[in-house]
Amino acid sequence: MAGIFTVGMLPDDCLSAILSLTTPADVGKLSLISSAFRPAAESDVVWGRFLPENYARIIAASDISDEVPFGSKREIFFRLCSPILIDGGKTSFELDKFSGKICYILSARELGITWSSDPLCWSWKPHPESRFSEVAELRTVSWLEIHGRIRRQRLSPNTEYGAYLLVKITERAYGLDLMAAEVSVAVGNGGRISEGRVWLQRKQRKEEDLESLFYGNRRERVRNLMGTEEEEENNGIRGLKERDDGWFEIELGEFMSGEDDDDDDEEDVHMSLMEIRGFQLKAGIIVEGIQIRPKN
Question: What DSSP line would sit under 25-38, residue for residue?
Answer: HHHHHHHHH-GGGH
Residue ranges in the chain modelled with pLDDT below 50: 1, 205-206, 210, 214-215, 225-226, 228-234
pLDDT of 229 = 47
Please state, in angstroms and rounded to a whole number, the distance separating the CA atoms of residues 177 and 116: 21
Please state, in angstroms and rounded to a whole number, the distance separating the CA atoms of residues 136 and 123: 6
Angle formed at CA 165 by CA 164 and CA 166, multiple of 5 degrees:
110
Stretch (H or E) spanning 130: none
Please state, in angstroms and rounded to a whole number, the distance separating the CA atoms of residues 179 and 142: 12
pLDDT of 223 = 52
Q: Contact, 160 vs 269, CB < 8 A?
A: no
pLDDT of 231 = 47
Q: Contact, 240 vs 198, CB < 8 A?
A: yes
Please state, in angstroms and rounded to a whole number, the distance separating the CA atoms of residues 29 and 42: 13
Burial of 81 (0-12, 13-18, 19+ CB in 10 A): middle
